[in-house]
Amino acid sequence: MYQLFDYQQKLVDGARSALAQGNKGVLIVSPPGSGKSVVIAEIARLTTEKGRQVLFFVHRKELVNQIKDSFVAQGVNLNNCTIMTVGKVANRLGYLPKPNLIIVDESQHSRAKTYLKIFKFYSDVPRLGFTGSPWRLSGKGFKDIYSAMIEGPNVKWLIKNHKLAPFTMYGYRLGDDSQLKLGSNGDYTNKSLDAFSQTIIRGDIIKSWKRFANGRKTIVYCHSVQFAKEVANAFRRANINAEEADSKTPEKERDRIMSDFKTGKIKVLCNCDLISEGFNVPDCSCVILLRPTESLVVYLQQSMRCMRYQPDKDAIIIDQVGNFTRFGLPDADREWTLEDRIKHPQREGGSAGPAIKTCPQCFGVILASLHDCPLCGYSFETEFRKIAQDRRAELEKINLNAKELRERKKKEQELLLRDPSTFTSLKEFAIYGKAMGHKPGWAWHRAKAKGLIR
């Protein structure tokens, strides 16, 4: 039986108190890796020991199996529990034992039709929802589903108190952002992600891993099964034991791959949307992000997968698609709410924490206020002086004649029609980046990734 930490016991007590005050729905918010399954199991134990019935559901089979293990370990009376995926529950309404309490994990999905169908059918049954980030791309809130919210400690507190591992993030873009297009759901379309992935040099992924995380047990997040397989092949060609697993991998083969990864036989596990929620490998100390996303939920679940606590463990996050520029660091302060909100609270009112920047020497993601990189010692004062010198040099020739202006404009227009992968100088990347509206550092990072800057 688990011995709950103080902050976990507070969540249990807070949830029970909120229900006792008459709230029909209570949302419990606690960061990824903080042990929500222990809290869920304890609440289920307290309910079933009184002879009451619990209905637990979540959207994926793997998470169902995981919570069953937690329930058994916590001494929950499984005879008084129904534990299923949301789809199975929705198809069996009227045939399942009437619950006294509904518990829902990964409750950021609660607005989906199948969830709402279940809530409506059991409208008289109190419900508890658990999530690491109550946020949806649509900006729609949860006030009509959960009338109260209980928040656990934030990521900074969990790291400081040795409940999550400290991390170092290395970040830069390998792909061409101009390929990315938003779809109707608010995130990037699969077609544009396919185009983006084709601009990523597979060998650069391996080089980065060897530089920042060589030998670490690593999970790689990709946008598609095909891309995940290509990345796994690239690792194997470099004599690094890697495998790809996805939802269509035969169950026995997937179980074998997961087991081999947990035991360390497989060093790098590449996947597409299979290992974002609930997958627990405490000694995994590195993740590589290769899927650009506009979803804060996806970003936090993936980037923090390597931060499960172990003594003396430090985590490495390699963000090679620039997600950190949209959302800040995983331990940024964020304000959660049940109300409807703007689409991007992490950028416009959700407090993404202090401004950050990337060190051009080691690619570490650090506070923008720092003058020296704490990871490698790089001096930004030197960079500032060089930029000032470059700008002065540019100002020396501003009196171009009409012919020179026409020739320069023509060259710039021709450049915009080219594929950035064909560029051979920092200047070409800079002209293209400015015209396409990319951030100032985009040209530098693309040129650096291509080996044009040493």
Q: Which residue has the higher pLDDT, 244 or 174?
A: 244
Tokens 């279940």 locate to 118
If pLDDT is split at 50, 70 and 90, which confidence band does 384 have? low
Rounded to whole angstroms, how far apart are CA atoms 316 and 289? 11
Predicted confidence (pLDDT) at residue 394 exceeds the cutoff of 50: no
- State how beta strands 101-104 and 54-58 pair: parallel
The predicted model scores a pTM of: 0.80
| Fold (CATH) for 162-332 | Rossmann fold (3.40.50)
Predicted confidence (pLDDT) at residue 372 exceeds the cutoff of 50: yes
Using alpha carbons, select from 42, 165, 59, 189 the residue that is nearest to residue 111: 59
The residue count of the chain comes to 454
**Per-residue pLDDT tens for 138-163?**
889 999 999 999 999 999 999 999 99
Q: φ, ψ for residue 293 (rounded to 5)? A: -150, 150
Tokens linked to 335: 């304000």
CB 11 within 8 A of CB 41: no
**Per-residue pLDDT tens for 257-301?**
988 999 999 999 999 877 655 566 788 999 999 999 999 999 999
Amino acid at 302: Q
If pLDDT is split at 50, 70 and 90, which confidence band does 65 have? confident
Q: Which residue has the higher pLDDT, 448 or 440?
A: 448
Rounded to whole angstroms, how far apart are CA atoms 182 and 191? 10
Rounded to whole angstroms, how far apart are CA atoms 255 and 238? 25
Q: What is the mean pLDDT of residues 331-342?
A: 88
pLDDT of residue 71: 94
pLDDT of residue 388: 54
CB 284 within 8 A of CB 309: no
Predicted confidence (pLDDT) at residue 454 exceeds the cutoff of 80: no
CB 26 within 8 A of CB 125: no
DSSP 132-179: S----TT----TTT-SEEEE---HHHHHHTTSB--EEEEE---S-GGG
Question: Could you tell me which residues come within 8 angstroms of residue 382 by beta carbon, excluding any fewer than 6 positions away?
Answer: none
Identify the CATH homologous superfamily for domain 6-154: P-loop containing nucleotide triphosphate hydrolases (3.40.50.300)
Question: Could you tell me which residues come within 8 angstroms of residue 97 by beta carbon, excluding any fewer than 6 positions away?
Answer: 53, 55, 82
Element (H, E) at 57: strand 54-58
DSSP 355-411: -EEE-TTT-BEEETT-SB-TTT--BHHHHHHHHHHHHHHHHT-----HHHHHHHHHH
What residues does 286 pair with on adjacent strands?
218, 316
Q: φ, ψ for residue 93 (rounded to 5)? A: -60, 135
Measured at the CA of 336, the angle between CA 157 and CA 103, to 5 degrees, comes to 90
If pLDDT is split at 50, 70 and 90, which confidence band does 440 have? low
% of the chain at pLDDT higher than 90: 60
pLDDT of residue 63: 81
* Mean of per-residue pLDDT scores for the chain: 87
pLDDT of residue 350: 41
% of the chain at pLDDT higher than 70: 87
pLDDT of residue 42: 97
Question: Could you tell me which residues come within 8 angstroms of residue 172 by beta carbon, excluding any fewer than 6 positions away?
Answer: 319, 320, 322, 358, 363, 445, 448, 449
Residues of the chain with CATH 3.40.50.300: 6-154, 162-332
55-69, 77-91, 203-217, 408-422 — which is least confidently predicted?
408-422
Rounded to whole angstroms, how far apart are CA atoms 59 and 38? 19
**Per-residue pLDDT tens for 155-187?**
999 999 999 999 999 987 888 888 999 998 889
Rounded to whole angstroms, how far apart are CA atoms 347 and 327? 7
Tokens linked to 19: 């229900």
